[in-house]
Structure 1
Amino acid sequence: MRKILIIFICCFSLQTKAQEASLAFLYFRNGEYEKAVSIYKILHEKNPLNTSYFNQLVDSYQQLENFEEVKKLINKQLNKVPNQYHLLVDLGYNYQLQHQQDSATFFYKEAINTIEKSKNQGYLIGRTFQKNHLLDYALLAFKKAMELNPNVNYNLQIAAIYGEKADIENMLKTYLNLIETNINYLPSAKTYIGRYITDDSENEANNFLRKLLIQKMQNNPQNSWNELLSWLYMQQKEYSKAFIQEKALQKRNLSSLKGIIELGKITFEDTYYEVSKNCFNYVLENTDNLEEKLISKLYLLQISINTEADISNIELQFQQLFKDYGKNKNTLGIQLLYAEFLAFNKNEPEKAISLLKEAQKLPVNEFEKGNIKTKLADILVFSNKFNTALIYYTQVQNDLKNHAIGQTARFKIAQTSYFKGDFDWAQSQLRVLKKSTSQLIANDALDLNLLITDNVVKDSLKIALKKYALADLLAFQNKNQQAIDTLQVILNNFKGHSIEDEALFKQAKLFEKLNEFVNAENNYLKIITINKEDILADDAVYYLAELYLNKLNAIEKAKEYYQKIIFEYPSSIYLVDARKKYRKLRGDEIN
């Protein structure tokens, strides 16, 4: 009983202390520094070795400009534990806050000199300088500590300080030197470098990194330079250049095609189909691994579906694959793609459903089962069998709640409800998905939720939105001409309605699918004319430029509209790409 009582008292004491610390921090955060001091003072007296309480008490006094009290506090701490040399930095900073720079410099130099006495304190002294934004002194401290003790490596800290100083070149050099001495630093260095890299090849950090990596490759070739250069090119969407680096890596390490497969997947998702096709063809030429072969063939088939008009040729490719590899667990991905092809491209949904029901009999895991059911539900939506589709989506969502497959199923429940005109239930699902761990699903959920919200306010009967949802469904079902005609009804009957720009944009994208490029051009121009500040205006300007460049062969007009993005829509997500393409069309030399 006595032991239980002691444990209870200890737990109660710890809980009280935690509550006091939380309250003190709350006071500090709210600018009530006197109240913060009153609590931190007691906490520090009871726990003199707790650096958190000590530092918060110092900060609170300094916010009150009670510098004399800080001086007493630091000196008292130094008298108790003389070798806490990092406190000399805090003492110097206390003088700096009083504009006594000579005294501050004296203590900063003292702190640096003490590293010779106690090499192990170099890190703490450097961090204390860094905490007080004394970056040049922090660099001195870390570098001196490394000179005196060759066994320590503070290059990560040094590189981060160069970053804080906006000395990008030295930051990058330090990270690369770190990788050169120990390849295990590559993932960490890539993470930190990624904070400064953008998708703009003309960005200062991008330029420096490219030049430094090329120098490294010439002077001291190693795989990490190719890997980093490939990664840089991928950030810039210069995928052909990334492919060259990945091939160089693969030729040095013949056992691994992982990098090339990953690049193929990324370029496929980004619709750079030519590079994606090159990646997967390269894999097929250089592997005997069945899984790698089937992944490559799956993506190559998907590229054919997305880019070729000859359905019969694609059908032959599927049949050849099934002849070579069979319909089994290994070819499940190809079977799912074939089911989609049968329904959406050949308009043979019954065959697709039959194929998927056979696939359900295979010895698959719960995730593969979820994928089969989701694809089956998609085809049921294609066939307007919404209620049965919702049953399958709901099963997947319940079985795989915390997995991306389950979250996708929840989005499809919302989307199917939207197709049916049940906007309230759709929005109830979409609100949950806005917090999805998958950024893509969260963005799709946000877009659909905004579409519904924006277009029900002035239309209590939701007539226009229901018509638009029908057009969306027809587009989903690959019935593009019917979708275009339905959108035209909206444009004829709901001029000035908030949904007009959405209908014009959706119709323009469908016109492009049917190669009706002049009609698409007219729609984009109408969106810009209606309201150049509209949320879809920069989309219309960008896709108009793309249309002029890639389909209508109107180079000058393409330049004009890329330039509009640069000067009239500087916050647009298309800015970097527009600038790059404008400069290329203008004849500038692009790195």
Structure 2
Amino acid sequence: MRIKLLVICLLFAVASFAQSEEVAKSYYDDGQFEKALFSYQKLYDNNRGNINYFFKIVEIHQQLENLDESEKLLFEIVDRSGNPHYYVELGYNFQLKGDMEAAKRYYDLAKAGIEEKPVYAYYVARRFEDHALIDYAAQVYERAMDLRPESNYNMQLARIYGEQGKVEKMFRSYIDFIEINTTYLNFAKRSFSEYISEDSQSENNKILRVVLLKKIQEEPNIMWNELLSWLFVQQREYRKAFAQEKAIFNRQKESLNGVVDLAQITINANEAEIAYEILDYIINNGSDLQTVLKAHKDKLELMTLELDARGYDEIDSSYQALFSEYGLLTQTVDLQLSYSNFLAFFKDQPDYAIDFLKDALNANLSKFQEAKVKMKLGDILVFQEKFNQALIYYSQIQQSLKNSTISQEARFKVAKASYYKGDFKWAETQLKILKGSTSQLIANDALDLKLLISDNKYEDSTQTALKLYAKADLMAYQNKTDAAIDILDELLGAHKTETIVDQALLMQAQLFEKKKDFKKAEANYLRIINDYKDDILADDAYYALAEIYIKELNLPEKAQQYYERIIFDHADSIYFVEARKKFRALRGDSIN
């Protein structure tokens, strides 16, 4: 019992102490410095070993311009402590007083302190950094690494060099750091991305390329090839990236992961020519069957998008040849799904596709594979507007793999099918459940569809406009692009004042883009910007329009104008980061 009471008392004391610290911080953050000073002083009196409390007390005195008091406290602790980081604070206190000579004297004492005790370097440098004295901080880190070569302050130095604009030294420091700490490779890439651009001729890009090439020559390591490949990808020089990935594979034959990732990047970037080369390389060099089959699948899907209907028989024959070689077994399920999608959505043979998938269900599939086949069956039945049959398959997935991501995807498709057929109430019921989906993508899609329905279901009791929009959406899903555009024209002509108009304009613009009718797409986006600039889709229109101007209409000045609108008018937009990056590149900013 006594032990229990002791534990309870200790827990109560810890909770009370944490609460007191939170109160002190709250006072400080709110600018109530007198109250904050009292609270931190009380905390420090109870725990003299906590130097953070001490520094906070000094900082508050400085905020209150009690510089003599903070000086007194600092001199007292300097006399009894061997840690030179207090000299930094003392120097800064003199700097606040305007006595730069004294400030420099104590800064130099802080630097000199690490000569005898280099283990204090981090604390000294951090105090310098806290006061934006980054030149001093860099000197401390550099000297500490001279004194103790085993110490590694390259990460800290890289950050400081970046702030100083010493880009080459920054790149070298990050590279020296990840050479020892390889798990930070992706962190280094993220840091590099703040300083480079898509322009291979920009100064920073050239510096990084030279640094990496020197490392490859002087200290060969596939990590440098990987970074160089990454740089070439940022510059959209995919063939050069491919050369680096092949060099990596030639040195470690066990993995084609880098080549596989690059293939997907080139596919997503619509760089078909190099994508085909990379996929062929995977097919010819892959030792893992699933990797080879995926490359075959990706290649055929790319061909499907690249070729018109005249090439479909050739694609069909290629699928059949693969099935003859590898069989219609569990190992080729993804290839079978791809083929059924090709049959239904491109060759317009949905019945054949359904029969093909039903045969696939007879194989010894795992639950997950069976769910994927049923999902595709449901998708094709929706394509045929056989909604009730589709709902059966989607519901079976939900029952078979409860709470899984694929189950949540099936529920979303139930909602989407209900929406297509005009049953908006049931669609909303399903979408409400999905707002807590573990998949952020599904949750976002569900929210978008729910908002579309809820924003437009009450404006017209017959829901005519919403039904037309859903019908156009279904037509787009069925690849009936012209029919979808015509239905949206009907909606826009008959429902000029309803809230769904901007949604209809956006969908129609995207369909115009699909048809490569960029002038009509431009007109729609401009109408959204002019008539609905305060609505939720404005940033979508700005970004899409900028992309058309830069990629299709060769009007970079106009593109820059619309990227800028996102930066200044839509700082919370999902396009903000990309818009800012592209705006700066178009403006010719140097990145450092």
The aligned residue for residue 275 of structure 1 is 274
Q: Which residue of 2 aligns with 1:352?
A: 353
Residues 414, 426 of structure 1: 8 Å contact kept:
yes
How far did residue 367 of structure 1 move?
4.4
Answer yes or no: is the 8 Å Cα contact 1:505–1:540 preserved in 2: no
Map 1:16-165; keep pairs closer than 5 Å. 16-80=16-80, 82-165=81-164
Match of 1:6 in 2: 6
Change in 2 beyond 3 A, CA 1:468/1:149: same
Equivalent residue letter for 1:161 = I
Deviation of 1:297 after TM superposition, in Å, equals 0.7
Question: Percent identity over the alignment?
Answer: 41
Q: Sort the Cα spacing of 1:581 and 1:95 in 2 relative to 1 into closer, same or farther, 3 A.
A: closer
My pick for the range that moved more, 386-395 or 123-132, is 386-395
Deviates more, 1:338-347 or 1:569-578: 569-578
Distance in 1 (alpha carbons) for counterparts of 2:190 and 2:132:
23
Conserved in 1, the CA contact under 8 Å of 2:391 and 2:417? yes
- Please name the residue that 2:314 is paired with: 313
Q: 1:423 offset after TM fit, Å?
A: 4.7
Cα 1:113–1:460 shift into 2, 3 Å:
farther
- 1:287 corresponds to: 286
The offset of 1:109, in angstroms, is 0.8
Partner of 1:343: 344
Q: Within 1, Cα distance between the matches of 2:69 and 2:272? A: 68
Partner residue of 1:562? 556
Aligned-pair CA distance for 1:213: 2.8
Opposite residue 248 of structure 2, the aligned amino acid is: L
Structure 2 counterparts to residues 229-378 of structure 1, below 5 A: 229-308=228-307, 309=309, 310-360=311-361, 362-365=363-366, 367-378=368-379
Q: Is the 8 A contact 1:91 1:107 kept in 2?
A: yes
8 Å contact kept, 1:434–1:442: yes
Q: Give how far 1:234 is off.
A: 2.0
Structure 1 pair 345/184, CA: closer, same or farther in 2 (3 Å)? closer
1:89/1:128 contact within 8 Å kept:
yes
Question: What residue number does 2:569 align with?
Answer: none
Partner of 1:586: none
Per-residue deviation at 1:230?
A: 1.3
Q: Return the offset for 1:36.
A: 1.6
- Distance in 2, matches of 1:60 and 1:467, equals 64
On the 8 A contact 1:33/1:64 being kept in 2, the answer is yes
> How far apart are residue 526 of structure 1 and its match?
5.3
In structure 1, runs of 5+ residues without a counterpart are 550-557, 584-591
Aligned equivalents of 2:175 and 2:61: distance in 1?
42
Of stretches 267-276 and 128-137 in structure 1, the one that deviates more from structure 2 is 267-276
Residues of 1 paired with 2:584 and 2:306: CA distance?
25
Shift of 1:401: 7.5
Matched-pair contact (CA < 8 Å) for 1:127–1:138: yes
Distance 1:581-1:124 versus aligned 2 partners, 3 A rule: closer
The AA in structure 1 aligned to 2:476 is: A
> Could you state the TM-score of these two structures normalised by the residue count of structure 2?
0.84
Given that residues 197 and 585 in structure 2 are in contact (C-alpha distance below 8 angstroms), is that contact kept between their aligned partners in structure 1?
A: no
With over 3 angstroms needed to count, the CA separation of the structure-2 counterparts of 1:75 and 1:211, relative to structure 1, is: same
Instruction: Determine whether 1:521 maps to 2:519.
Output: yes
Q: Distance between the aligned counterparts of 2:64 and 2:502, measured in 1? A: 56
> Separation in 2 of the partners of 1:84 and 1:427?
64
TM-aligned CA deviation for residue 138 of structure 1? 0.6
Q: Give the Cα separation in 2 of the matches to 1:527 and 1:224.
A: 44
**Inter-partner Cα distance in structure 2 for 1:479 and 1:350:** 18
Q: Following the alignment from structure 1 to structure 2, what is the Cα–Cα distance between the partners of residues 276 and 445? A: 33
Residues of 2 paired with 1:281 and 1:150: CA distance?
47
Post-superposition shift, 1:185? 5.3
The whole-number CA distance in structure 1 between the counterparts of 2:229 and 2:484 is 41
SS at match of 2:125: helix
Aligned residues between the structures = 569
Distance 2:581 2:144 in 1: 45
Match of 1:305, SS state, is helix
Counterparts in 2 of 1:164 and 1:578: CA distance versus 1, 3 Å: closer
Q: 1:389 to 1:32 in 2, by over 3 A?
A: farther
Report if aligned partners of 1:230, 1:245 keep a CA contact under 8 Å in 2: yes
CA-to-aligned-CA distance 1:264-320 (integer Å, 9 cap, x gap): 122223333332222111111223331221111111121122222232222222211
Instruction: Tell me, in whole angstroms, the C-alpha distance in 1 between the residues paired with 2:402 and 2:38.
Output: 48
Distance change >3 Å, CA 137–CA 410, structure 1 → 2:
farther
Following superposition, the deviation at residue 116 of structure 1 comes to 1.4
Matches of 1:391 and 1:336 in 2, distance apart? 19
Aligned to 1:171: 170
Q: CA deviation at 1:211?
A: 3.9
Within-5 A mapping of 1:446-457 = 448=449, 451-452=452-453
Query: Contact 2:525 / 2:541 at 8 angstroms: preserved in 1?
Result: yes
State the Cα distance separating 1:255 from its structure 2 match: 3.4
- Amino acid corresponding to residue 521 of structure 1 in structure 2: K
* 1:429–1:138 CA distance, 2 compared to 1 (3 A): farther
Q: 1:290 to 1:526 in 2, by over 3 A?
A: closer
My pick for the range that moved more, 478-487 or 409-418, is 409-418
The alpha-carbon deviation at position 115 of structure 1 amounts to 0.6
The answer to whether the 8 Å contact 2:300/2:315 transfers is: yes
- 2:295 partner letter: S
